[in-house]
Structure 1
Amino acid sequence: MWIGLLAVLGAGLGGCATMTPDFRSNSQTAPEQWLSQQHLIFHIQCQLANAVAKAEKFDQDNAVNVPPERRAAWLGQWGAKVSLVLSVNNKNNFSPSLSATTPLENAVTVFTKNGNVTTGQNRSLGLGFSWSADATRTETIGFYYSFEDLKKLTLDPTKCKPNTGPYLASDLKIDDFLMKGLDMSFQPDALLRKDGESPYTTFTYQVKFIVTTGGNLTPAWKLVELSANQSGNLFAASQIKTDELTITMGKVVTDDKGNKVPRKDFDDQHFANLVGQAVANALQTRPPL
């Protein structure tokens, strides 16, 4: 019976950590999981395109109210590099313990006043075993858009909704971030700028969700001369799912083939962001010394 319960607990929390973790939930098929990932990428594209359109409209409206010209026309020379990192981590731990106890006769301590003291005695031997497994699967997807390409997209408003689910499928608030930077660039003397040029070199926007589930099972026995699993957990299982989105925005240039590509400083900044992200994740998952 206990073996069956252990199997149910491990499966319910994402599977055994001795095998490659699966991104699917227990009720989800592989094609359904692929489709959900496609929807996620489309959702990010929608959120980014809507943010750029909102910023462009804000700049155009501002040029009418505060002439003579647009002050964020440089947005048309920018683009965005997107990195989507999805990971799942399964952990299992099995730690049985056993203690054998032999009762001994009581010891009597004799005092000349206030009576004697009787103390119980026993001899015990403890045995323990620990086994643990940790498995992580990570998928990284990178893609790039120029803002000019985003403005040409024809997005279905019935599908391009701000909130389609939890975590990265929710409202990512990219427009809030971009509008904040745009508004700051409009303030006199807030940033040094040249006419027609962006006062910024790059923008970086990151969103991260960490979802942890876990459970344990500990049957225990305590007999006269034998006891088992009196402390700790006999079996524990946990799953950590991490969804992380990094968007770097910067100026684009035209390459020899006429394609819009990230300028070198823009490209370098995105690479540095990914390196910093990887180091931070490694430090978080490092076991304690």
Structure 2
Amino acid sequence: MLAVICCSGCGLTAPEINEPFDVDKPPGGYTPVGFSATAQIEYEIKKRIYCDLRAAVKAANEVPVTEGPTVDRLTVKQPGQIPKSWGAQVSLSLQVDETSGLNPGVAMNQALPNAATVFGVGIANTVTTPQSFSLGFGGTVSSTATRTDKFDPYYSVEDLLKPYAPNSICAGGPPYIQNDYLWKGWVPAQSSPFIIESDLRIKEWLVGAMFVANALPSSPIPSQFRGSSATDAKSRKGDKGNEADKGKGGGESQVTSNKDTVSLEIKFIIVTSGSITPTWKLVRFSANSGSSPFFNTGRTRTHDLIITIGDPSLISSNSHLASQIGNSVSSANKANGSSNGN
């Protein structure tokens, strides 16, 4: 019953990212000096990911490594696992699917006399069979509404390694400096699993992934697969590990910074649903006596995070794009499956 009340109207209006118990600041929605509950949640999620990513990059670059241009011999030293010329591409997708279904059913009943069947001789061999006639009528009405909010920030490793400013949000600074007087003592909406989860383990993943990339580096990457020449020049200038070598064949430049592009995807799927089925069974008619619920409603939240860290090149961009496409296809298939289920 609680799920039905919370999801009432699901699929009939544009969904909200926030939950019904989240509160706007100030109450009533967005104002020039306030933020909706959805905006609060999205800010808190982005802040959490940004601060965890900063801590992860700092921890990874506190590990000294030795790297070389060959696959099986490490010769060149560098101060940390991640070059400062690299960057982190982040994709955050917050999707809400709300569904409602109405499945009324009525059957007209007519009682008929019992039929007696005699086998052999005697009353003991008589079998009585009840008889009745029923004519059923039914219908289905369903609705599905989907909302997806996406954010695709980019952070350079050099910026992520900078020390915290005195008013940094990652150092406990106020979330909205321009409206700080409104937020004193206020707890923002926090119903997303990205906020509830105590540890997204981004640091653990990044330190381990970069260790693997440094322990067994890939072959040098040809310059034609690294994007624009301006990006290449800046990358090679900012990182000694990215200095180019001339190829023997056509003179193509190859970079010696040959660590793998690494990606992480974290997905949370939370489903709540409820149904109500009042049933009548009378002499002349019966209602909602089938297997389908009379009224059902549901809400599915899919919160997905993709982080790709690597040289700002065509290969890193393609890797991140491939992850985004795969996530979009998965979300579309899930939404179609939910609507067909009603």
Give 1:19-34 correspondences, 5 Å limit: 19-27=13-21, 28-29=23-24, 30=29, 31=35, 32-34=37-39
Counterpart in 2 of 1:255?
none
Check if 1:167 corresponds to 2:161: no
Give 1:189-228 correspondences, 5 Å limit: 190-192=216-218, 196=241, 197-228=256-287
For 2:92, what is the secondary structure of its paired residue? strand
Counterpart in 2 of 1:249?
309
Give 1:111-190 correspondences, 5 Å limit: 111-113=119-121, 114-154=124-164, 155=168, 156-158=170-172, 167-169=193-195, 170=197, 171-187=199-215, 190=216
* TM-score when normalising by structure 1: 0.82
Greater shift, 146-155 or 92-101, is seen at 146-155
Counterpart in 2 of 1:104?
112
**Which blocks of at least 5 consecutive residues in structure 1 are unaligned?**
252-261
Amino acid at match of 2:204: D
Residue 25 (structure 1) shift: 2.1
> Distance in 1 between the 2:114 and 2:258 partners?
85
Check if 1:75 corresponds to 2:91: no
Structure 1 residues 276 and 49: CA distance shift in structure 2, 3 A: same
Structure 1 residues 247 and 98: CA distance shift in structure 2, 3 A: same
* TM-score when normalising by structure 2: 0.70
**Does the Cα contact within 8 Å between 2:41 and 2:191 map onto a contact in 1?**
no
Q: Which structure has more strand as a fraction of its residues? A: 1
Give the alignment partner of residue 298 of structure 2, picking from 238, 244, 247: 238
- Kindly, what percent of the aligned residue pairs are identical? 29
Residue 33 (structure 1) shift: 2.8
Residue 116 (structure 1) shift: 0.9
**Does the Cα contact within 8 Å between 1:100 and 1:225 map onto a contact in 2?**
yes
Residue 186 (structure 1) shift: 4.5
Residue 11 (structure 1) shift: 4.7
Check if 1:91 corresponds to 2:99: yes
Counterpart in 1 of 2:11?
17
Please give the per-residue CA displacement for 1:44-77, whole angstroms capped at 9, x wherever unaligned.
Answer: 11011100000111227x99xxx99336465212
**Does the Cα contact within 8 Å between 1:14 and 1:22 map onto a contact in 2?**
no
> Distance in 2 between the 1:136 and 1:96 partners?
25
> Distance in 1 between the 2:144 and 2:85 partners?
45
Please give the per-residue CA displacement for 1:245-286, whole angstroms capped at 9, x wherever unaligned.
Answer: 1111111xxxxxxxxxx3222222222221121112222232
Structure 1 residues 84 and 132: CA distance shift in structure 2, 3 A: same
Structure 1 residues 211 and 20: CA distance shift in structure 2, 3 A: same
Alpha-carbon RMSD across the aligned residues, in angstroms, is: 2.9
Aligned residues: 265
Structure 1 residues 246 and 133: CA distance shift in structure 2, 3 A: same
**Does the Cα contact within 8 Å between 1:72 and 1:182 map onto a contact in 2?**
no
For 1:85, what is the secondary structure of its paired residue? strand
